[in-house]
Amino acid sequence: MAHHHSAKKRIRQDEAIRLRNRYYALTMRNAVRKLRANDNKEEAAQSLPGVFKMIDKLAKKNIIHKNKASNLKSKLQHHVSSLA
């Protein structure tokens, strides 16, 4: 266990940041699931920019890797364009 005040504070901060990052990542995953489950092309195309924005923000903050963000965006774009 940490003995210095600064180390104890860092542990508290890290836990708060970890929980916040998990919340943002979970929100993004739910948005991706919702987009993939959508069968209507117009609705999916309308919600696509919002999901892209969310993914880009998480990649910028290093919550997800930039390559994972790129792969997600590519697969989502392909899914939306393949809808009839």
- Where exactly are the structural domains of the chain? 5-82
What pLDDT is recorded for position 36? 95
Whose tokens are 């792969």? That residue is 71
Which CATH homologous superfamily contains domain 5-82?
A: Ribosomal protein S20 (1.20.58.110)
Confidence of residue 2 (pLDDT cuts 50, 70, 90): confident
Q: pLDDT above 70 covers what percent of the chain?
A: 100
Give the separation between CA 76 and CA 78, rounded to whole angstroms: 5
Own/partner long-range contacts of 16-23 (Cβ < 8 Å, ≥24 apart): 21/61, 21/63
* Residue 70 near residue 79 (C-beta atoms within 8 A): no
